[in-house]
Chains A and B, each alone.
Chain A
């Protein structure tokens, strides 16, 4: 059957036959790097056009409809425009940090792609602490935002960066705690183990209400972590003009922009992996007939379907909710989400020990 893992294995075998082992490794690494960059750019384009179409649909308008069929090439045209645009650096800015910040944002987004399983047995790096890796690396994102805000030498940028710092540090907690519920249930930090533990049903169905609570907390927390509305205080267009990237233009702005979208993809991919079974088809217990029919749908379609569903949910938030205020945002985390997810984790742990889940 056609699948990503077969293609990868074929390439590996062909390289192994034609080159020596060191060369094979180097070529494979280059290939993986190119694939990640390609995916990074490709995802950016797809998600931007998707966001614009989704928002247009919600706002009773057509959205981009001039470039390419149904406007599908609009974001490509935008990218070309951003590439040829002059990248300004303000006079008072700290030039080194100012130019470094967008690259850190991009590198973080790329690093996060490493442990994600895009299809059955198709993963860049199945490291045994995959979930921990994702939580750890995604916190570096805040450094690039703080760097951008501070180095811009602009008060709006600085305020946006400070808001973002407070926000990401806070919401990291409940995101981490809701990830932990699944780790407790599946007994592993490895992404592939977590997916295989859902072979007889996704955690969101197997784990009763506590996992549902963890899922909702997770979605709220990652929306905040990726600075998406209604938690887009770091950008807060009407208050801070554009927040931390006020002073950025051209390709440096585009990198922030792409990194934001790729981050959305990644957190949704993690959400889909943990709660909705990743590439695992929809299985019901040991009902063999049904499970086999589901298995006919390729695993990559399952993965991307679930991920894009979650992305749609996050876009839906963005286009329907007003923005929270900074104190309300922190109240929500520290007074509601954090206590709820702590108690929830306790319940899930008890559930895991007593084997109350399916």
Chain B
């Protein structure tokens, strides 16, 4: 194959970006065909971190398989667990107590902020600005501390279980979340000053990687990637789950379709998440945090599908049950996989430097793509 050799028959240069490359943030391998600095083709080669979670889950019980899913999109581990727990609950037909619902939503939104913070810092770093990374981590750190206190882990929380959540909230939870929000509101202007308002940054982002609304739908883009192109795709609004239909928040939409629009969607989404947390933090209902379920769960024969909005888009969990204690087949519809497929389409004709801007704003998390 000519891929490893260097040039195509037409004389274009072929560059392997990855599997180890600073901008791929993981083990993504892109084979790029370049004419000078201009990109002609981007071909992703996946599988470097494929653990075949779907196959693994076929031999794990309905309680066990949720823990594996934290390792898919490790930045929205709560949401992954949430989708799986909801799918199992759908099969068991269990109602979960209101307190657990509120806790789930609070945790999901905190995770969303943490994930977007990391994205913000990492994306600025891809563009060559190192400083924002540390500023983003300052805020993210306090969310991780909150998570650590309640869930016992900072990244792979495994907090949501079928029937509710695993433990009750830590007594400090409310106070620390409020402290975090105060810090966040005090620091949010730094984000605009350091990155959003920077003229170099805006030139790097505007009209780069333009994705039209029709293409976004056709390529199956979800989450901020689709909303940057003006496609309404927020599962929390379209098909509300838990208590999202009782909450006041806006679905963030931008119509630019370029990298800057996707950037702005995520920045504004963080503020919407803060809004949701503000509504809930003082109104956590008393009561059980978990519905009692049987020790060994058995789903009835049938097919169950549940979906949540993770920080990257729509995560679908599709369980096919034969009535046993393990799923017969499980499919994770991961947002990253579909969002990655659009990369070749939007990067044609742009410069090599734009590729990192696009990869940054698509917010690729490789374990989510490979599963």
Contacts and interface: CB of A to CB of B under 8 A. Distances in A.
A304 B127 CA distance: 33
Contacts of B6: 155
Contacts, number: 84
Interface centre among B13, B128, B198, B351 (most CB of A within 10 A): B128
A158 B22 CA distance: 18
Nearest to A158: B13
Interface in B117-149: 124-131, 133-135, 138
A6 interface: no
Interface in B39-81: none
Contacts of B138: 60
B129 A321 contact: yes
Contacts of B13: 155
B349 to A, nearest CB: 12
A18 interface: no
B95 interface: no
A325 B353 contact: yes
Contact of A159 (B195, B204, B352): B352
A264 B308 CA distance: 52
Given A230-B200, A325-B351, A59 B134 contact: yes
Contact of B354 (A60, A229, A237, A325): A325
Contacts of A232: 128
28 contacts: A55-B130, A55-B131, A58-B131, A59-B131, A59-B134, A60-B135, A60-B138, A61-B134, A155-B13, A155-B15, A159-B352, A233-B353, A236-B128, A236-B353, A238-B127, A239-B352, A239-B355, A239-B356, A241-B21, A320-B129, A320-B194, A321-B198, A322-B200, A323-B127, A323-B204, A325-B203, A326-B352, A328-B204
Given A236-B353, A321-B198, A328-B203, A241 B128 contact: no
B23 interface: yes
B128 A238 contact: yes
Interface string A236-273: 11111100000000000000000000000000000000
A322 B201 contact: yes
Contacts of A156: 15
Nearest to B350: A325
B16 to A, nearest CB: 9
Nearest to B133: A59
B278 interface: no
B281 to A, nearest CB: 27
A319 B130 contact: yes
Contact of B128 (A60, A61, A230): A230
A327 B124 CA distance: 19
Interface string B193-215: 01100101101100000000000
Interface in A303-337: 319-328
Interface of B: 6, 13, 15, 21-23, 37, 124-131, 133-135, 138, 194-195, 198, 200-201, 203-204, 351-356
A237 B37 contact: no
A322 B127 CA distance: 5
A322 B124 contact: yes
Given A55-B130, A326-B351, 6 more contacts: A319-B131, A322-B201, A323-B204, A325-B204, A325-B353, A328-B204
A159 B200 CA distance: 22
Contacts of B351: 325-327
Nearest to A156: B15
B131 A238 contact: no
Contact of A237 (B15, B128, B201, B203): B128
State the 8 A-B residue pairs at the shortest beta-carbon distance, nearest first.
A323-B128, A59-B134, A322-B127, A322-B129, A238-B23, A325-B353, A238-B126, A322-B128
B263 to A, nearest CB: 12
Contacts of B203: 324-325, 328
A318 to B, nearest CB: 8
B353 A59 contact: no
Interface in A144-184: 155-156, 159, 163
Contacts of B23: 238-239
Nearest to B127: A322
B359 to A, nearest CB: 9
B37 A229 contact: no
Contacts of B124: 322
B37 A159 contact: yes
Given A60-B138, A156-B15, A325-B354, A238 B125 contact: yes
Contact of B204 (A55, A319, A322): A322
Contact of B134 (A60, A240, A324): A60
Contacts of B22: 237-238, 241
A337 to B, nearest CB: 15
Contacts of A229: 128
B340 to A, nearest CB: 18
Nearest to A331: B203
B290 to A, nearest CB: 40
Nearest to B203: A328
Interface string A49-89: 00000010011110000000000000000000000000000
Given A155-B6, A159-B352, A321 B128 contact: yes
A61 B133 CA distance: 12
B161 to A, nearest CB: 37
B353 A323 contact: yes
B73 to A, nearest CB: 22
Contacts of B352: 159, 239-240, 326
A12 B191 CA distance: 58
A267 B125 CA distance: 27
Contacts of A55: 130-131
Interface string A200-244: 000000000000000000000000000001101100111111000
Contacts of A233: 353
Contacts of A322: 124, 127-129, 195, 198, 200-201, 204
Contacts of A327: 37, 351
Contacts of B195: 322
Contacts of B21: 241
Contacts of A321: 128-129, 198, 200
Contacts of B135: 59-60
A241 B127 CA distance: 13
A113 B285 CA distance: 72
A309 B264 CA distance: 36
Contacts of B131: 55, 58-59, 319-320
A59 B354 contact: no
A59 B37 contact: no
